[in-house]
A and B are shown apart, each in its own frame.
Chain A
Amino acid sequence: MAQGWGLGALINLDHYGHYIQWHVIQISVANLIVIILMVATFVAALFAPFPGRRNRKGTK
């Protein structure tokens, strides 16, 4: 119903899921993307500068 707009307009989701298999390990591409995004967010959260951090030095 909502295919004509939003995310459905950018990515065609109307098909069976894609899977990656390595021996006994099988994971859907969708889940793998989410895991990669979580790892990227985690690394970015560790190293990205936090706004106003310099002004907060010593706040206790």
Chain B
Amino acid sequence: MSNAQIERQWTSRLRHRVVDKLPPERLLPDTQPAYVASWIYVFGVTTMAALGIVILTGIILALDGPQWWHSSSLGHFVNSMHLWSVEIFFFAMVVHLWGKFSMAAWRGGRSMTWVTGGVTFLASILAGFTGYVSQTNFDSQWISTQAKDGINSTGGGAFFNVLNLGQMLMWHIVLLPLAAVVLTGLHVIMVRVKGVVPPFDDNAEVSA
């Protein structure tokens, strides 16, 4: 096979396109712009670190079914880790959102970075909600019986039944974590492609 034929293959074309758009040194940079040395820029990675703990503790909770954490000291500990890492996840994500909103982080062609972050936030809220109704305790019963009226008033209850533990648990441990992780990955790739948004007074980049 000649070089010209190899270059025409979809694998070559895709690889060139990806590397042109996101060369390795931009995907995993050694340095960041000077303006990133501020506490307001740490909340994105704090959110991702918390997401990692959420997933890790969620995997451990999944090992022995949907109730074992109520009757085991290890289960209590892991369940608490799962809850508190979610608290840190949302806390950091909200501060990250405020920070990025205040610096209009969609400037400079970063609209998709903003949109993927916003959709990740919505998916995470749904993941949190399905988690609360999957606790298998009186709290989850209370939340689901209250939530069903709200969801039924939208017509969504015909498909998304919050009183169905099996459905809620599947959404909580499969569909929504998958959505959150994929969207977070896309969000980070968009940050790498477009770069971290500079502050308003930085003249290095023209605002969109």
Interface residues of A (CB under 8 A from B): 1-2, 34, 37-38, 41-42, 44-46, 48, 50, 52-53, 56-60
By a beta-carbon cutoff of 8 Å, the part of chain B in contact with chain A is 31-34, 37-40, 42-43, 73, 76, 87, 91, 94-95, 98-99
* Other-chain contact of B37, A1, A41, A46, A50 (Cβ < 8 Å): A50
Question: How many residue pairs between the two chains, A and B, have CB atoms under 8 Å in the bound complex?
Answer: 47
Q: With contacts A38-B91, A45-B43 known, is A57 near B34, CB below 8 A? A: yes
Q: Is the interface of B mostly helix, strand, loop or mixed?
A: helix
**B36 → chain A closest CB, angstroms:** 8
Q: Is the CB of B39 within 8 A of A59?
A: no
A46 partner residues in chain B, CB cutoff 8 A: 38-40, 99
Chain B residues contacting A41 (CB-CB under 8 Å) are 91, 95
Contact A45 B38 (CB under 8 A): yes
**Cβ of B139 to closest chain A Cβ, rounded Å:** 12
